[in-house]
Structure 1
Amino acid sequence: MAGRGADGHPHGADRLCEAGDRVYSRAVRRGRVSRRDAEPVPCLLELALLHPDPDDMDWLVPTSPQEVMTRLLREVHDEVSASQRRVDSAVAAFEWYAGLGRRAQPAQAAAEGSAIRVLDGLARIQTAMDEATEACTTEVLTVQPGGIRREHELAEGLPRALALRGRGVRMRDLYTHVARHGQGLLGYLELMGDAVEARTLDEVVDRLILFDRTVAFIPANADCSMALELRHPALVSYLATVFERLWRLAVPLTAPLPDTGIEGISHRERSIAALLAEGHQDAVIAERLGISVRTCRAHIARLSETLGAASRTQLGVRIAQAGLDGPPRPAPFSAGPPAGRGLPGRDSPGAR
């Protein structure tokens, strides 16, 4: 949704210019705006935020904030690395459009409220999650970023997971590769048995929980003290598609990680090398891979030693020479017996 024809307005719907902000906000509040008032901001027409009123062509009516949000999410890149960057941007745009939606007509606000609900505070998030868990009858899909799962979190979620299994609900969970090293998680998944399945990736998108492909929960701010409950079919379908594409790239928990093909370099060190080549700092790399900064730096030191690099600049050159400056292609794997999968209890979108 990027404006292309207006020289003075080179932006998309996720970051309106000041003039566009004023005109679009006025149109949402009043229900329409005159074509003359919109002439200084052709970006609104190019972005389809305004369109002609069929009853009076001298007036323009706004596209609803809900529809704009749906478009933004649909345009998130399909690739995993690009998806993570765009989801962060889309969440910020969500908050802006949600604020406009609350000032719109009562009927429109009520319709949007049923499709997108902002949950403020961990208590409200947990209550909504409990309601969705109780109503679930078929499937739960989750993405759990971060590193090793804490045993007390897994223990808190065990009763819910057992109740879901008792109702015949199938569960699939995506973790980072680091989670493989958590004995609590391995024991938890073994206890859950064949009702659940888990896979891992180098890095995943932010937390996501989908129930029966009808309701989804995602974080709504940086500290995860707020969450969005999504029931709009297009949004939920989009998020389910993101999950399925990540799932196809992931490695079953019971399968070994693919070999890097380079002697002395581990799978994790290859992942770190690719992120270093993209220009990321140690702290960012550690967060994305679910490891501590100290562990990340230890891997970088071993990578430098293996490649014979005496400095960070030289390391970048050696990474490129060794072909480590891009993500490894996922190795094919056979479908073996399903691994376990756990549903963290208090580990909602609002708690990391």
Structure 2
Amino acid sequence: MAGHAADEHPHGADRLCEAGDRVYSRAVRRGRVPREDAEPVPCLLELALLHPDPDDMDWLVPTSPQEVMTRLLRGVYDEVSASQRRMGSAVAAFEWYAGLDSQLASSAMADRSAIRVLDGLSRIQAAMDEATQACTTEVLTVQPGGIRPEHELTEGLHRALALRGRGVRMRDLYTHVARHGQGLLNYLELMGDAVQARTLDEVIDRLILFDRTVAFIPANADRTLALELRHPALVGFLATVFERLWRLAIPLTAPLPDTGIEGISNREQSIAALLAEGHQDAVIAERLGISVRTCRAHIARLSETLGAASRTQLGVRIAQVGLDGPPRPTGGGGAGGVGSVGGALTLPDQESRSVR
């Protein structure tokens, strides 16, 4: 019953219902009221405005209005105190989240500086000049493509000479085709033992690493966009890739290994392996740094040497003589060889893919 009555009188002691007001006022005036008078308004008992008379349990005596006011004021005080505590907690939480936000902003700034997009040749060159000036120990470069035109090699010469003057050691990776460029050989002689250079059948896209702290890679096909990478994990990964390629490469001063098959050159062996993988002529030419025309000339010689009358037959002959796997370099473990840095430190310009 009490619960039912409470549903009918949803109020607190600060605002009595009309029936409760009449009964409580009568109890205050008379000093007590019969218990049955309060049955229609159980809220008075629930709010402790009436309580049993200890001398006669059939009667209810009122709580004094002064005590009720004190109780109300205490409740208001408690509510205000609770509100203040909630406000304090909200302020503390706001400050905490604000601190996290500033950390996130700092982290975002760090991420933005860890990977920077360089738009345009002038910005790329300026960033590389800055990295060159800050470099103190080592430069690692990967130079894909074929023979490097002399104007490309000349553009990076000032950086190479500045690095050599500070005792910076340099290592460069090229494709085997680059061995035939006179401009590269001239740079090798100029730079002396300041650099080492090795070659592979094919390498990854252009890469330049300074002191293993900053790396530059192209960001589009024509190299008018580049990425400057300073994130330690990214730079470390690229350095590991370089070292593994370096161990497979052949010093520039060492001859290329013989294929062991009469009439088949090292380059034709590489072309045969890529043909066996199903690559088209244009893809093979790009990966080896030669022109498509040169690539097709080598394929024609392969067909003639192996006695193949068609591309399908050529694939069968390549597998029969064991040319369908990668070449096995015999001199890649050497420690040295001289190299070129002038052409190595020119990221933006696209290299020539022709072989002369």
Q: TM-score, normalised by structure 1?
A: 0.68
Residue 157 of structure 1 aligns with an amino acid whose one-letter code is G
Tell me, yes or no, if the aligned pair for 1:125 and 1:350 is still in contact at 8 Å.
Answer: no
Tell me, yes or no, if the aligned pair for 2:249 and 2:332 is still in contact at 8 Å.
Answer: no
SS class of match (1:205)? coil
Deviation at 1:109?
2.6
Change (3 A) 1:142 1:191: same
Residue 226 of structure 1 aligns with an amino acid whose one-letter code is L
Q: Cα deviations across residues 246-287 of structure 1 (Å, max 9, x unaligned)?
A: 000000000000000101100000000000011111111001
SS class of match (1:159)? helix
Deviation at 1:330?
2.1
Which residue pairs with 2:176 in the alignment?
A: 177
Which residue pairs with 1:317 in the alignment?
A: 316
SS class of match (1:321)? helix
2:314 is equivalent to residue 348 of structure 1: no
Deviation at 1:225?
1.5
What CA distance in whole angstroms lies between the structure 2 residues aligned with 1:196 and 1:158?
Answer: 13
SS class of match (2:156)? helix
Which residue pairs with 2:150 in the alignment?
A: 151
Which residue pairs with 2:163 in the alignment?
A: 164
Tell me, yes or no, if the aligned pair for 2:142 and 2:344 is still in contact at 8 Å.
Answer: no
Tell me, yes or no, if the aligned pair for 2:140 and 2:208 is still in contact at 8 Å.
Answer: yes
Aligned runs of 1:1-352 on 2, under 5 Å?
106-332=105-331, 335=334, 338-344=337-343, 347-349=346-348, 351-352=350-351
Deviation at 1:219?
1.1
What CA distance in whole angstroms lies between the structure 1 residues aligned with 2:335 and 2:223?
Answer: 36
What CA distance in whole angstroms lies between the structure 2 residues aligned with 1:170 and 1:162?
Answer: 11
Residue 145 of structure 1 aligns with an amino acid whose one-letter code is P
Residue 284 of structure 1 aligns with an amino acid whose one-letter code is V
Deviation at 1:350?
6.3
Change (3 A) 1:119 1:334: closer
Tell me, yes or no, if the aligned pair for 1:217 and 1:349 is still in contact at 8 Å.
Answer: no
SS class of match (1:262)? coil
SS class of match (1:218)? strand
What CA distance in whole angstroms lies between the structure 2 residues aligned with 1:301 and 1:345?
Answer: 33
Q: Cα deviations across residues 151-191 of structure 1 (Å, max 9, x unaligned)?
A: 11212222221111000000000000000000110011111
Which residue pairs with 1:26 in the alignment?
A: none
Change (3 A) 1:218 1:350: farther
Change (3 A) 1:232 1:349: farther
Change (3 A) 1:170 1:345: closer
Q: TM-score, normalised by structure 2?
A: 0.67
More off after superposition, 180-189 vs 150-159: 150-159
What CA distance in whole angstroms lies between the structure 1 residues aligned with 2:241 and 2:276?
Answer: 25
SS class of match (1:327)? coil
What CA distance in whole angstroms lies between the structure 1 residues aligned with 2:281 and 2:336?
Answer: 37
What CA distance in whole angstroms lies between the structure 1 residues aligned with 2:211 and 2:253?
Answer: 26
SS class of match (1:254)? coil
What CA distance in whole angstroms lies between the structure 1 residues aligned with 2:140 and 2:345?
Answer: 16
What CA distance in whole angstroms lies between the structure 2 residues aligned with 1:255 and 1:345?
Answer: 20
Q: Cα deviations across residues 192-211 of structure 1 (Å, max 9, x unaligned)?
A: 00111100000000000000
Change (3 A) 1:126 1:272: same
Give the number of aligned pairs: 249
Tell me, yes or no, if the aligned pair for 2:160 and 2:345 is still in contact at 8 Å.
Answer: no
What CA distance in whole angstroms lies between the structure 2 residues aligned with 1:229 and 1:185?
Answer: 26
Deviation at 1:344?
2.4
Residue 216 of structure 2 aligns with an amino acid whose one-letter code is F
Tell me, yes or no, if the aligned pair for 1:180 and 1:253 is still in contact at 8 Å.
Answer: yes
What CA distance in whole angstroms lies between the structure 1 residues aligned with 2:316 and 2:336?
Answer: 42
What CA distance in whole angstroms lies between the structure 1 residues aligned with 2:297 and 2:260?
Answer: 21
What CA distance in whole angstroms lies between the structure 1 residues aligned with 2:177 and 2:243?
Answer: 21
What CA distance in whole angstroms lies between the structure 2 residues aligned with 1:259 and 1:296?
Answer: 19
Residue 290 of structure 1 aligns with an amino acid whose one-letter code is G
Residue 177 of structure 1 aligns with an amino acid whose one-letter code is H
Deviation at 1:106?
3.9
Tell me, yes or no, if the aligned pair for 1:276 and 1:316 is still in contact at 8 Å.
Answer: yes
- The 4+ residue runs of structure 1 with deviation greater than 4 A are 349-352
Pairwise CA RMSD: 1.8
What CA distance in whole angstroms lies between the structure 1 residues aligned with 2:170 and 2:282?
Answer: 32
What CA distance in whole angstroms lies between the structure 2 residues aligned with 1:236 and 1:337?
Answer: 24
